[in-house]
Structure 1
Amino acid sequence: MNRSLWTAASGMRGQQLNIDTISNNLANVNTTSYKKQRVEFKDLLYSTIKRTNLNDNQGRPVNLEVGHGVMPVATTKDFANGSPVETQNPLDVAIDGGGFFAVATPNEEIRFTRDGSFKLSVDDGERILTTSEGYYILTEDEDVITVEEGMTDLNVDQLGNVTARNEDGEIEELGRLAIIDFPNPQGLLSDGSNLYKTTEATGEPIFVEADQMKSKVLQGYLESSNVQIVEEMVKMITAQRAYEINSKSIQTTDEMMQQANNLKR
């Protein structure tokens, strides 16, 4: 009977992690470019009490086995696009399709993001395109985008080319935003602040050339979270009921053990 206690406990632990993940999705419903997560489960080892034993098509055709519960094995991100929301801010850009922007952190590490709420930060008297934290946005040449004093009409086309009008009224090219893809985006590790970093599972970053672009860069838009509140609420109710029924299994086992202990000869 003790097996049922540990089996039900594993179910409660698994559903607690499920609720934690759903709660994080709901907490980030308004986070720019947030990608919802879901927990994946697998059953644990089985105790085989009797095995199949067929001889000349006679004997036991099925196993007698009992499981030991459940185990969470992964949290998978859904990289489906969120809806583009118009902001009319020329520094806001969104990727319509696959891909990530490349970002340089202060310790010279490369991170990746889909959050295009860029800012102009002043560094040594120069205005440089950065994230809200001040991390540099990289170009296809792994350089930064510098907007000189007096430049106006900053423009980002659908291929990620950044241009501006200089003081002489001429259009000047400032660089092309690096658009990066991965063989396995699911292997990216969340680093907080809407940033991801690579792992061995992602494969080598792939720079998407302008003539190979299948996505579009939209200026004046931000990508919203792809969390669907109604869907997450349904998942939460299901997880709550699963947690409840596992706790009921523990209560039932406890009552059965109490009855066994109270048996009198």
Structure 2
Amino acid sequence: MRALYSAAQGMKAQQVNLDTISNNLSNVNTTGFKKTRVEFKDLLYEQIRRSNFANDEGRPTAMEVGNGVALSATLRSFEGGSFTQTSNSYDLAIDGPGFFKIRDENNNLFYTRDGSFKASVTANGTKMVNSEGAFLQGEAGDIVLGEDVAEVSISKDGEVNVKRTDGTEESVGIIQLMKFSNPAGLESAGGNLFKETNASGIAISPADGSAGSVLQGMLETSNVQVVEEMINLITAQRAYEMSSKVIQTADQMSELANNLKR
């Protein structure tokens, strides 16, 4: 009975859909988080009878029966979130489609929309790092603030200026904002980080400023809309419930067929 297997496929697909919605809702307060949605596709069809229409005669349509649903992809939405103001001069947000470029201790490059950076004292001077200690990248490498930092100011074009404790000011670098031709193709690496892939295209730093501008003292919130996710949650629940009803109905029909001999 095809209905049993088709309904089972539907329940499995909706379970993944529910997992995705749950992940979105759990990250509703995660800085720079981008929501994902599940895409579905129908499975192969079994042709019980082919069409034989020819010379204006015959059956114009075939008789086909589907075999359920399968997951097609999970698509991440890079729609911008809202901005929230903080009192931390190391908090940054991007007004535009760009990404911050960071480097970990193993020289692996990652990209993120999470601009909650900190100052970290290293052997090579004070640097700007994320919560995991990965270094924020500028046009010339790591953003090195140097010693005796009293105040840090960052312009919209990403230029980092440091005021020393002795009153002198110095420009220490320009934050490099990166852009991708297909950001949906980025690979999620956890920790609000993304990795470049063949599908995303090569990271580029456009000279025309199309990657966006840097906003100091602000953070980008998650782009998850709670009401929208709750509606998706109800829809997924009802779809799962309907598939379970199909299995129950198929079981009852099988029981009726088995009882014909009595």
- Report the TM range for the smaller structure's normalisation: over 0.9
**Structure-2 separation of matches of 1:213 and 1:259:** 66
Any idea what SS the aligned residue of 2:53 has? strand
**Structure-2 separation of matches of 1:62 and 1:10:** 27
The alignment of Structure 1 onto Structure 2 pairs a total of residues equal to 262
Q: How does 1:92-111 map to 2 (within 5 A)?
A: 92-111=91-110
Q: By how many angstroms is 1:131 displaced?
A: 0.4
Superposition TM-score, scaled by structure 1 size: 0.95
Any idea what SS the aligned residue of 2:197 has? coil
Match of 1:201 in 2: 199
Q: In the TM superposition, what whole-angstrom CA distance separates every residue of 1:163-218 from its partner, at most 9, and x where no partner exists?
A: 11234533311101111111111111110110011112111111122x43351210
Letter in 1 for 2:213: K
Q: CA distance change for structure 1 residues 194 and 153 in 2, over 3 Å: closer, same or farther?
A: same
**Structure-2 separation of matches of 1:91 and 1:166:** 16
Q: How does 1:112-123 map to 2 (within 5 A)?
A: 112-123=111-122
Letter in 1 for 2:11: M
Which of the numbers 234, 255, 259 marks the counterpart of 1:258?
A: 255
**Structure-2 separation of matches of 1:104 and 1:220:** 22
Match of 1:219 in 2: 216
Q: By how many angstroms is 1:100 displaced?
A: 0.5
**Structure-2 separation of matches of 1:74 and 1:56:** 42
Q: By how many angstroms is 1:146 displaced?
A: 1.8
- Give the % identical residues: 50
Any conservation in 2 of the 1:84–1:94 contact (CA below 8 Å)? Answer: yes
**Structure-1 separation of matches of 2:154 and 2:32:** 19
**Structure-2 separation of matches of 1:213 and 1:153:** 28
- Residue segments in structure 1 that go unaligned for 5+ positions in a row: none
Which of the numbers 234, 239, 247 marks the counterpart of 2:236?
A: 239
Any conservation in 1 of the 2:151–2:163 contact (CA below 8 Å)? Answer: yes
Match of 1:47 in 2: 46
**Structure-2 separation of matches of 1:62 and 1:161:** 66
Which 4+ residue blocks in structure 1 deviate beyond 3 angstroms?
211-214
Superposition TM-score, scaled by structure 2 size: 0.96
- Residue segments in structure 2 that go unaligned for 5+ positions in a row: none
43-52 or 30-39, which moves further after superposition? 43-52
Match of 1:190 in 2: 188
Q: In the TM superposition, what whole-angstrom CA distance separates every residue of 1:71-109 from its partner, at most 9, and x where no partner exists?
A: 001100000000011012110000011011111011111
Q: By how many angstroms is 1:148 displaced?
A: 2.5
**Structure-1 separation of matches of 2:106 and 2:41:** 39
Letter in 1 for 2:236: A
Any idea what SS the aligned residue of 1:262 has? helix
The alignment's C-alpha RMSD in Å is 1.3
Letter in 2 for 1:244: E
Match of 1:91 in 2: 90
Match of 1:153 in 2: 151
Match of 1:70 in 2: 69
**Structure-1 separation of matches of 2:47 and 2:128:** 62
Any idea what SS the aligned residue of 2:261 has? coil
Any idea what SS the aligned residue of 1:164 has? strand
Q: By how many angstroms is 1:147 displaced?
A: 1.8
**Structure-2 separation of matches of 1:114 and 1:136:** 14
Letter in 2 for 1:42: K
Q: By how many angstroms is 1:55 displaced?
A: 2.4
Q: In the TM superposition, what whole-angstrom CA distance separates every residue of 1:21-73 from its partner, at most 9, and x where no partner exists?
A: 00000000000000000000000000011122212222212111000000001
**Structure-2 separation of matches of 1:243 and 1:201:** 32
